[in-house]
Amino acid sequence: MKTIKTLAALAAVTLLIAGLAGCSDDDPTSPQGGGQQGTAFTLTITNVSDAADFFTAGTFAVPEGATDPSPIGPGQAYEFSVGAEPGSRLSFATMFVHSNDLFYAPAGEGIALFNMDGSPRTGDVTSEVMLWDAGTEANEQPGAGPNQPPSQTGPNTGPADSDMTVRLVDDGFTYPAVAQVIKVTLANDGHGTTTVRIENVSDPMTLDIGGGMTDAVPLAPGVFVVHRDPDPLFTAGAKIMPTGLEALAEDGSPDALAASLGDRTGQIVPLAPGIAAVHGSGAMLFTPGAMAGAGLEALAEDGDPSGLVASFAGMMDVSSAQVFNTPDGATDPMPIGPGQSYSVTFTAEPGDRLALATMFVQSNDLFYAFDPEGYALFSGDGDAMTGDLTGMIRLWDAGTELNEWPGAGPNQAPRQAGPDSGADDPVATVRLVNDGFVYPEASAVVKVTLSVGN
């Protein structure tokens, strides 16, 4: 499944780039007419990202309008946002607090976030939520058991369940209907982001706790995950997985399960064809705080470096500028996926600097590059400065298109209908990315190395 998803993402970007104004394989521009003498270098750009099991995952713990984590009571709600693309599904889990090990969650396939026609799904999805028994602790009278969170002396204190499988609750006790306790709704902003609202709709009369007494049903902090394959949290009829769901279902503690999901969460990040330029002092590709040029816009939005490399023609401070677009070992231009690389060779002399840029494909207009002054190719003593340059790579925002959830936005290269199709960025300047979304460290996506020789 990971391989299929990786190939699908790369294929979508390849088709897009093929339809752009083309540039020949490793097309060079030599503004000074070529023939430069100097040291030969080889630059290698490797995609070191890896496909993950889940697109995004996390916790919901702070009630709407509050500042600290806590359970929610009647009238309170948790809200969280997720990025998703057609085919994605949502699973979550939150503890039925007046129990030993019960939790609310959808079935193993999760809740579809998109309709059959690919449009985002919205509205009330509570009917797809069920009350599950984790099978880890023997059940007691709901709301009255001495080994339930409101009464127990500490976590994980009850006797073991005689049936150690996850199943729909069926223990002879009386529970309220799901819709009497929890309401789950979806809202979509049209930019690849869905907001999920989990509301506590119980009241003091909802739960029969025995002896003629009733109570509301608190809901504890929980976890969520966006996935494609079924059963991300549990498998009905099987023993609970050692991932932290027991702590959530028994004690309302989501941290261990969230950490387990986080280890398996990420996104496929292809890297698009880009540019490598040798130049003198000063900024070549962009200036932070200034608007991006048309060439950088095409590279950052659509993975097309041809306009940017052409813009260097005739610039006296640029000794060479080349497109890298054909993966090592391949014959045709295309983006690179995990484990693939681009290589480009050039010559330089003391005082020269290197600029490069390649699109972060799961974005609207983000690109990897050095700082604007580029990388100094030689030391003050004239020695070639080679090795692993990844630590100097930054993720930049071109400021030309409004950012959407990375890997889910409908106006991003793998999903858009054509180039240059997103809304304008209200901050129309180049800057380091800082938009509230979460991105992987540059070193988790790209590795840049420089060596002497061809």
> How does pLDDT run across 75-95, given as a tens digit for each residue?
999 999 999 888 999 999 999
Supply the pLDDT for residue 192. Answer: 85
Q: Specify the residue for token string 């003050």.
A: 380
With 70 as the cut, is the pLDDT of residue 8 above it?
no
Supply the pLDDT for residue 4. Answer: 36
Write down which residue in 228, 263, 298 finishes a domain: 263
User: Are the C-beta atoms of residues 192 and 113 closer than 8 Å to each other?
Assistant: no
Arithmetic mean of pLDDT over the chain: 91
Supply the pLDDT for residue 46. Answer: 98
For residue 267 the two structure tokens come to: 């996104």
Supply the pLDDT for residue 122. Answer: 97
224 and 285: one domain? no
Determine the distance from the C-alpha atom of residue 160 to the mean position of all C-alpha atoms in its chain, rounded to a whole number. 38
With pLDDT > 70 as the criterion, what percentage of the chain qualifies?
Answer: 92
Determine the distance from the C-alpha atom of residue 100 to the mean position of all C-alpha atoms in its chain, rounded to a whole number. 34
Closest CA to 95 of 134, 125, 137: 134
299 and 177: one domain? no
Identify the band that residue 3 occupies on the pLDDT scale cut at 50, 70 and 90. Answer: very low
18 and 114: one domain? no
199 forms beta bridges with 77, 183
347 phi, psi to nearest 5 deg:
-115, 150
Identify the band that residue 7 occupies on the pLDDT scale cut at 50, 70 and 90. Answer: very low
278 and 173: one domain? no
Supply the pLDDT for residue 1. Answer: 41
295 and 434: one domain? yes
User: Are the C-beta atoms of residues 359 and 367 closer than 8 Å to each other?
Assistant: yes
Q: What whole-number distance in Å separates Cα of residue 162 and Cα of residue 167?
A: 13
- The answer to pTM > 0.75 is yes
Average pLDDT over residues 329-349: 96
Write down which residue in 205, 229, 263 finishes a domain: 263
Closest CA to 397 of 446, 436, 445: 436
HEC sequence for the chain: CHHHHHHHHHHHHHHHHHCCCCCCCCCEECCCCCCCCCEEEEEEEEECCCCCCECEEEEECCCCCCCCCCCECCCCEEEEEEECCCCCEEEEEEEECCCCCEEEEECCCCEECECCCCCECCEECHHHEEEEECCCCCCCCCCCCCCCCCCCCCCCCCCCCCCCCCEECCCCCCCCCHHHCEEEEEEECCCCEEEEEEEECCCCCCEEEECCEEECCCECCEEEEEECCCCCCCCCCCCCCCCCHHHHHHHCCCHHHHHHHHHCECCCCCEEEEEEEEECCCCCCCCCCCCCCHHHHHHHHHCCCHHHHHCCCCCCCEEEEEEECCCCCCCCCCCECCCCEEEEEEEECCCCEEEEEEEECCCCCEEEECCCCCEECECCCCCECCEECHHHCEEEECCCCCCCCCCCCCCCCCCCCCCCCCCCCCCCCCEECCCCCCCCCHHHCEEEEEEECC
313 and 253: one domain? no
191 and 76: one domain? yes
Q: For 379, what's the count of Cα atoms within 13 Å in the CB-facing half-sphere? A: 5
Q: What whole-number distance in Å separates Cα of residue 255 and Cα of residue 268?
A: 25
More confident of the two residues 17 and 273: 273
Number of domains in the chain: 2
Q: What angle do CA 271, 275, 279 make, to 5 degrees?
A: 145
135 and 208: one domain? yes
With 60 as the cut, is the pLDDT of residue 414 above it?
yes
Closest CA to 205 of 70, 71, 74, 63: 74
Identify the band that residue 13 occupies on the pLDDT scale cut at 50, 70 and 90. Answer: low
Q: Which domain CATH number covers 435?
A: 2.60.40.2130
For residue 434 the two structure tokens come to: 């800082």
239 and 122: one domain? yes
Name the CA radius of gyration of the chain, rounded: 27
313 and 372: one domain? yes
Contacts of 140 (CB under 8 A, 6+ apart): 100, 146, 147, 148, 158
232 and 338: one domain? no
Q: For 270, what's the count of Cα atoms within 13 Å in the CB-facing half-sphere? A: 31
With 60 as the cut, is the pLDDT of residue 185 above it?
yes
Burial of 185 (0-12, 13-18, 19+ CB in 10 A): middle
Identify the band that residue 24 occupies on the pLDDT scale cut at 50, 70 and 90. Answer: very low
Write down which residue in 216, 241, 263 finishes a domain: 263
User: Are the C-beta atoms of residues 44 and 446 closer than 8 Å to each other?
Assistant: no
340 and 194: one domain? no
Supply the pLDDT for residue 154. Answer: 80
Q: Specify the residue for token string 């030391």.
A: 379
Q: What angle do CA 194, 55, 402 make, to 5 degrees?
A: 55
Determine the distance from the C-alpha atom of residue 416 to the mean position of all C-alpha atoms in its chain, rounded to a whole number. 18
- Domain containing 359 equals 2-52+267-452
For residue 303 the two structure tokens come to: 């993975």
